[in-house]
Structure 1
Amino acid sequence: MTAGRQSSTRRRVIIIGAGPAGLAAADAALRRAAAIVLIDSAPRLGGQFWRHPSPTLDADESLQHNWSRFTDLRSSIRDNPAAEVITEGQVWAIDREPGRRTPRIQLATGPVDGPGRELSSLTGDAVVLATGAHDRTLPFPGWDLPGVVTGGAAQAIAKADRISVGGRDRARVVVAGAGPFLLPVATSLAAVGARVLGVYEAATIRRMSRGWLPRAPWLAGKSPELTGYLARLARHRIPYHPGHAVLRADGDDRVRRITIARVDDDWRPVAGTERQLEVDAVCVSHGFTPRVELPIAAGCRLTPERFVQVDAGQRTSVDDVYAAGEITRIGGADAALVEGGIAGHLAAGGAINDAELGGLFAAKRRLDRLADSVDDAHGIGTGWTDWLTDETLICRCEEVTNGRVRSALEATGSRGLRAVKLSTRAGLGPCQGRICGRTLEQLISAGGPLTDDAVIDRRPIATPIRFGELARLTDDQEIDNQGSDQ
């Protein structure tokens, strides 16, 4: 089923994801006089980066970064008659319609848990994938306790509801993990009343210096942002501890204390440096995992690091399919905006040598060096497995422990992901391996490369869908404008 509202000569671009990359792609495509369909699963545009406050609260720009850029993009899209915006739209599958070059988007529109979603499909002349990423948290003993949350979840609650994790006023919170994202998480929590006891960064000073200093001339543009975060840490008296990691969490009905220790350059705990802190919550993020289920379904080739492979114009290995933002590399919102602008321009029929792309390509070169620095300075070290015990949960959905995974590897003599999943049920729970999948792969491949071609991100059904919804799906449904930005 396709929409027939666009003119016969105007290119129609389908954009999946309305965070920074998707919004920039939509704006760029509209500027090239294309018609666009912008789809996002949330009720309002902005993605995780520009998460809105609850409807009962006024916008608080102090908790947002570059909010004016969002409002400008939203206005340019909302006010353009060639733009169709579908919110609460879950793309549950991508397949191929016979005789068409571009993939067919299978869409369920309505509240994600609602029983009355409308199922439909649509196609266009080009597709831009901008599905983003989610937090990655390495397991440690007690990480399944209530009160242990991801950094992204803690920040989302602060932005949406202006409350802190921890369950009480002036909750004692620790922010830990790796990467620059820890800084906005800590400052957001402090702004909504949390008592942030410290930011514990696993990367050592030596490793951060090796990652950041060689590219310092290219990173000058980010200095004001970094200075701003450091000033807020100082204002709230939040100490920053490089070379430290959370080794375990303890408690009864929720987390009550954590054990922190120094780690070396490879994230291996340094014996004798352990100490405990009494906490109400701990927010942990060790980077991000790209959401590549839909790119895989579309047939896009991945890099060895499991990002979507793109060329200089953000084109994937599939004709007329583009990718932008965190699914091509974890580079932050600024990089996502640049990549989205390039992808939208070319998807709408522009050329890679068009003059208006010159500034975007220059910015991309600089931001690529920033991403290189983040990878080199804060990438996950190999020694983190030293803090695991046999009782540490790896797959929380199916309650599969590290010991069970290790026993399965020894019993089967296999280093295949499929064999371990089937013998332990790790990665087969409700989240389908989104939380534990990359960790499981790392544990299996510790003794050598994986011996099968199984990929944890290959999910033909990308989001849950009811059998009753599938039964209502017909080939002749027609999609209309089923949502609008609020």
Structure 2
Amino acid sequence: MTDRPHLAVIGAGPAGIAATLAATAHGLRVTLIDGAPQPGGQYHRQPAPELRARRPQVPHHRWRTWERLRGGLAEVEQQGWARLLMDYHVWCVERGPDGFTVHALLGPEQTEPVAVDADGVLLATGGYETVLPFPGWTLPGVVTAGGAQAMLKGQLAVSGRRAVVAGTGPLLLPVATGLAAAGVEVAALVESADPKGFLRRAPALARGPAKAVEAAGYAARLARHRVRTLVHHTVVAAHGTDRLEAVTVAALDGDGRVRPGTERRIACDTLAVGHGMLAHTDLAGTLGCRLDGLAVAVDEEQRTDVPGVWAAGETTGIGGAALSLAEGHIAGRSAAARLRGTAPDPRDRTRPARVRARLRAYFATLEAVYAPPAHWTDLVTDDTVVCRCEEVTGGAVREAVRDLGAGDARTVKLLTRAGMGWCQGRMCGPAVAGLAGCALTPTRRPFARPVPLGVLARQHEEP
């Protein structure tokens, strides 16, 4: 086996698993690395084994697809074609004259450094949620929509008894449905998207009939649970002392502003909120890969502009599990061919390429429909915390722009420390850019995540 080319796949979600199966089937050794204890990613997140779930498939999507992926992964691991490093967090990928070295640390304690040498690297690092701030969003009981879903899938737990699910994006439907099925009283699903946007783009949305059927299924289940749906509404504020007690929501006008007099207060102890997703591009940035907007740029084979580096899944643009599977399949086959010194057979990717093209067009349309309200910054008061790590308020950001001449997010960061905390601006970056009136741009860092100084000190110790 050691004479086969070696591919390091970073990320064990749908794209990473599909890439691993395709690459091993076409002659590569693969090391699959992921920061979660089990493969599957967010979409196929599994309950912790110690919970001994009797019906783990209940809170999950496309269980049969997951069973096929899980079975294929177990087979290639058993046969020695793939090695899995779970609960390892990749903090850097070094490019050398003879290939790449992937550096990772085990678990949240960041112990047991490991270095994986590979001939090529495939980035399947997925995406992360965007949450735009509003008064009260830091109260205990306010969680991200994806966080609520992860808690339900991975821990079979919920954060409260009465919830409001709010924001914008297709993720809100399965989150609200999952909470309702778990016994939570979902007081309201608050979606800021304007229904007229769906009507205007109906021909483009018709390219995704399966997704329309899936959405209709969620809507039917919400109706059975008597969940009130408020479209073209937004959360104005969250209220409480020690924890969340209620939220105020209001209708939006055609320009995306709150319509005066439409505010209503809804009692709840949980608010699951999200405003879309952004691609994880940190590792791509450290490698010098070109970005297309806020995602990694790739060609028809999912190759980046850095030789020996592929990218697949939501790191190349948010598009859901089916698109991630198609891209992972194409990337794995391309890597297998290129690292063995041959060109991929175009017939190998005909069907995945068609799926990719159709879903990319579909999700580009969805992204336009589910854009956050145009004037969401009007809701951010001067005392609203924007950067939670450094406790920077909306007023401080506005002062940096208005009085100190900051014209971009980087200057705001230097003047206010917004984005200098543990998350390195991943949570507050969109909010800071919005308040500063500038475009959100990815930042390139030498490391993809914080790393202990002792690990860095040992990197180049003399033997």
How far, CA to CA, are the matches of 1:311 and 1:381 in structure 2? 32
Structure 2: how far apart are the matches of 1:126 and 1:266?
Answer: 48
How far apart, CA to CA, are the structure 2 residues paired with 1:82 and 1:219?
Answer: 36
Deviation string for 1:399-431 (max 9, x for gaps)?
Answer: 111111111112221213332112111011111
Partner of 1:484: none
Secondary structure in 1 matching 2:257: coil
- Determine the C-alpha separation between the residues in 2 that align with 1:161 and 1:410: 45
Judged with a 3 Å threshold, the aligned counterparts in structure 2 of structure 1 residues 333 and 355 are, in CA distance, closer, same or farther, namely same
| Deviations 1:128-173, CA, capped at 9 Å, x for gaps | 101011111110011000001100110111112222222xxxx110
SS of match in other structure, 2:177:
helix
Partner of 2:269: 280
- The yes-or-no answer on 1:200 pairing with 2:199 is no
Moved more, 214-223 or 62-71: 214-223
- Residue identity opposite 1:106 in structure 2: H
Q: What amino acid is the match of 2:445?
A: R
CA distance in 1, matches of 2:462, 2:181: 51
Structure with higher strand content: 2
Change in 2 beyond 3 A, CA 1:341/1:410: same
* Distance across 2 between alignment mates of 1:360 and 1:157: 32
Deviations 1:245-286 (A, max 9, x none): 101111100111111001134432111111111111110010
Aligned to 1:461: 447
Residue identity matched to 2:22: A
What is the aligned partner in structure 2 of residue 471 from structure 1?
A: 457
**2:433 paired residue number:** 441
1:104 is matched with which residue? 101
Give the conservation status (yes or no) of the 8 Å contact 1:120–1:473: no
Amino acid at match of 1:178: T
Question: For 2:64, what is the secondary structure of its paired residue?
Answer: helix
Could you tell me whether the CA contact under 8 Å between 2:132 and 2:430 is conserved in 1? Answer: no
- Distance, in Å, in 1 between the alignment partners of 2:72 and 2:83 is 12
1:36-185 pair list within 5 angstroms: 36-55=30-49, 56-58=51-53, 59-80=55-76, 81-97=80-96, 99-100=97-98, 102-108=99-105, 110-113=106-109, 117-166=111-160, 171-185=161-175
Structure 2: tracts of 5 or more residues without a match: none
Q: How far apart are the structure 2 equivalents of 1:216 and 1:160?
A: 32
After superposition, the Cα gap between the structure-2 partners of 1:321 and 1:467, relative to the gap in structure 1 and judged at 3 Å, is same
Deviation at 1:458, TM superposition (A): 2.1
Contact 2:46 2:56 in 1 (8 A): no
Q: Could you tell me whether the CA contact under 8 Å between 2:165 and 2:188 is conserved in 1?
A: yes
* Matched residue type, 2:36: A
- Alignment partners' CA distance in 2, 1:143 and 1:231: 30
Choose 19-28 or 66-75, whichever is displaced more: 66-75
Q: What is the one-letter code of the residue matched to 1:160?
A: G
CA contact (8 A) 1:210 1:376 kept: no
Secondary structure (helix, strand or coil) at the match of 1:62 reads coil
RMSD: 1.8
Asked if 1 retains the 8 angstrom alpha-carbon contact of 2:205 and 2:362, the reply is: no
SS at match of 2:118: coil
Give the counterpart letter for 1:225 in structure 2: E
Aligned partner of 1:113: which letter?
Answer: E
Could you tell which deviates more after superposition, 287-296 or 74-83?
74-83
**In the alignment, residue 296 of structure 2 is paired with which amino acid?**
V
Q: Is the 8 A contact 2:337 2:344 kept in 1?
A: no
Q: Tell me the distance in 2 between the aligned counterparts of 1:392 and 1:288.
A: 22
Listed one character per residue, the Cα deviations across residues 435-485 of structure 1 (whole Å, up to 9, x for unaligned) are 0012212222x1x568xxxx55422221222122333335799xxxxxxxx
Q: 1 CA distance for matches of 2:206 and 2:415?
A: 51
Q: Distance in 2 between matches of 1:369 and 1:421?
A: 35
1:367 corresponds to 2:359:
yes
Deviation at 1:353, TM superposition (A): 4.5
Alignment-mate amino acid for residue 59 of structure 2: L
Paired residues of 1:208 and 1:376 also in contact (CA < 8 A) = no
Comparing 312-321 with 53-62, greater Cα deviation is found at 53-62
Which of 410, 413, 418 aligns to 2:405? It is 413
Q: Contact 1:261–1:270 (CA<8 Å) still a contact in 2?
A: yes
Query: Does 1:393 find its partner at 2:385?
Result: yes
Q: Deviations over 1:147-203 (max 9, x none)?
A: 01100110111112222222xxxx110000111110000011112110001111100
- The answer (yes or no) to whether the contact 1:426–1:433 under 8 Å persists in 2 is yes
| Inter-partner Cα distance in structure 1 for 2:456 and 2:298 | 33
Letter in 1 for 2:277: F
How far did residue 127 of structure 1 move?
A: 1.0
How far apart, in 2, do the equivalents of 1:22 and 1:330 lie?
Answer: 15
CA distance in 2, matches of 1:138, 1:353: 45
Kindly indicate whether structure 1 or structure 2 has the higher relative contact order, using CA contacts under 8 Å at least 6 residues apart.
1
Task: Kindly provide the amino acid, as one letter, of the partner of residue 17 in structure 2.
Answer: L
1:226 to 215, 219, 222: 215
Q: 2:405 corresponds to which letter in structure 1?
A: G
Range 118-127 or range 155-164, more displaced:
118-127
Structure 1 residue 74 displacement after superposition: 2.1
Q: Of 310, 316, 338, which residue of structure 1 is paired with 2:326?
A: 338
TM-score w.r.t. structure 2 length? Answer: 0.94
Counterpart AA for 1:68: R
What secondary structure sits across from 1:319 in the alignment? Answer: coil
1:243 aligned onto 2:238: no
Unaligned runs of 5+ in 1: 1-5, 478-486
Among 194, 199, 202, the residue aligned to 1:209: 199
The residue that corresponds to 1:271 in the other structure is 260
Is the CA contact 1:307–1:329 (under 8 Å) kept in the aligned structure 2? yes
Paired position in structure 2 for 1:432: 424
Once the two structures are TM-superposed, the CA of residue 51 in structure 1 deviates from its matched residue by 1.0
Q: After superposition, what is the alpha-carbon deviation per residue over 1:370-427, rounded to whole angstroms, capped at 9, x for unaligned? A: 2022112102232111111111111011111111111111222121333211211101
Secondary structure of the corresponding residue to residue 32 of structure 2: strand
1:75-107 residue CA offsets vs partner (Å, 9 max, x unmatched): 21222221111111111112222x23x443112
Distance 1:449 1:191, change over 3 A: closer
What's the TM-score once normalised by structure 1's chain length?
Answer: 0.89
* Cα distance between partner residues in 2 of 1:183 and 1:298: 36
- Residue type of the partner of 1:157? M
Between the two proteins, the alignment pairs up a number of residues equal to: 454
Distance in 2 (CA, whole Å) between partners of 1:71 and 1:464 is 34
Instruction: Give the conservation status (yes or no) of the 8 Å contact 2:89–2:107.
Output: no
CA contact (8 A) 1:150 1:285 kept: yes
**SS of corresponding position for 2:68:** helix
What is the one-letter code of the residue matched to 2:346? Answer: D
- Specify the code of the residue in structure 1 equivalent to 2:304: T
Deviation at 1:356, TM superposition (A): 2.5
Distance 2:410 2:91 in 1: 23
Query: 2: distance between equivalents of 1:465 and 1:449?
Result: 29
